[in-house]
Amino acid sequence: MTVDMNINAVSGYITNFLFVLLRTSIFISFLPVIGGKQMPPQFRMGLAVFISLLLTPVVNFVIAENSIFILVVKEIIIAMTLGFAVRLVFLAVNMAGTFMSYIMGLSMAQVFNPEVGQDTLVSEIYGIITMLMFLVVNAHHDLIFVFVKSFELLPAGKMNIAPLLPAVVSMVSAFFVMAIKIAAPVMVGLLIVQLLSGFLYKVAPQMNIFFVALPLNIFLGIMLMILSIPVFEHVLGISFSDLRGEMVRLLMMAKG
């Protein structure tokens, strides 16, 4: 009798661990910096296993034999949604850098970014600043804290997928707005320069405006990037401070 009870306890513990590991590993893989491709896979998996081992004794999964597949799907969806909410901030910064590169004429110079593949130099610079600020403000601590609380706020199998769909659409629209806010100072400034270059070409059509405007765009673009760093930091700070509340909001909506 005692042996049977021990076997049942161990099997229940293993089942809990596997489901906790499922949600944890997917969330970690979506996290910027910590779950980025530049990190060794052994580190990412080790962190996911470590967090899962800590959470397993306090998390209880009630599993029916006919609901295992549905439970797995729900765990994957909630983990991807939480990770996607965090990843969108970095994707917005990357898109803003791409916008600025195109208008500055630097889109031809590309580098390899392990996060997104081929990337522009401006996006790479802004991505490094974003990564450093993410670590400096300890945003990763807040995100891991909210993720741990997610097992309390949204117990396994209690998720309602329908309310998440409009929330994801809203996050994507906010992602484009954030990208425009970051890139706006450089884009507006260089748009004015290009309009003035067009007037200059009309006044002096014999001038090769392309060879004059290209280095001017690059120089003024870099100057505007430097001057707009406070704006970039302000937008980024607001986004990082809102991440915790956004994740809690998603959990409460899914609980609905």
Distance CA 107, CA 121 (A): 8
Position 123 scores a pLDDT of: 80
Position 5 pLDDT exceeds 60: no
Q: Per the structure block, which two tokens stand in for 186?
A: 């450089």
Query: What DSSP element (H or E) covers 117?
Result: strand 117-120
| Placement of tokens 């200059």 in the chain | 200
User: CA dihedral defined by 77, 80, 82, 86, rounded to 10 degrees?
Assistant: -160
Q: Does pLDDT of 96 surpass 50?
A: yes
Residue 92 dihedral angles phi and psi, to the nearest 5°: -65, -40
Instruction: Tell me: pLDDT of 15 over 80.
Output: no
Is residue 153 a contact partner of residue 252, using CB atoms and an 8 Å limit? yes
In this prediction, residue 112 has a pLDDT band, given cuts at 50, 70 and 90, of very low
Question: With left for phi above 0 and alpha for psi between -120 and 50, is residue 134 left, alpha or beta?
Answer: alpha
Q: Nearest 5°: phi and psi at 113?
A: -105, 120
- Structure tokens given for 197: 């270059």
- Domain holding 30, by residue range, is 2-255
Q: How many domains does the chain have?
A: 1
pTM of the prediction?
A: 0.77
pLDDT at 236 exceeding the cut of 80 = yes
Given a cut of 80, whether residue 110 has pLDDT beyond it is: no
Rounded Cα distance between 107 and 109, Å, is 5
CA dist 95 and 183 (Å) reads 9
Statement: residue 107 has pLDDT above 60:
yes
- Confirm if 99 and 183 have CB atoms less than 8 A apart: yes
More confident of the two residues 255 and 3? 255
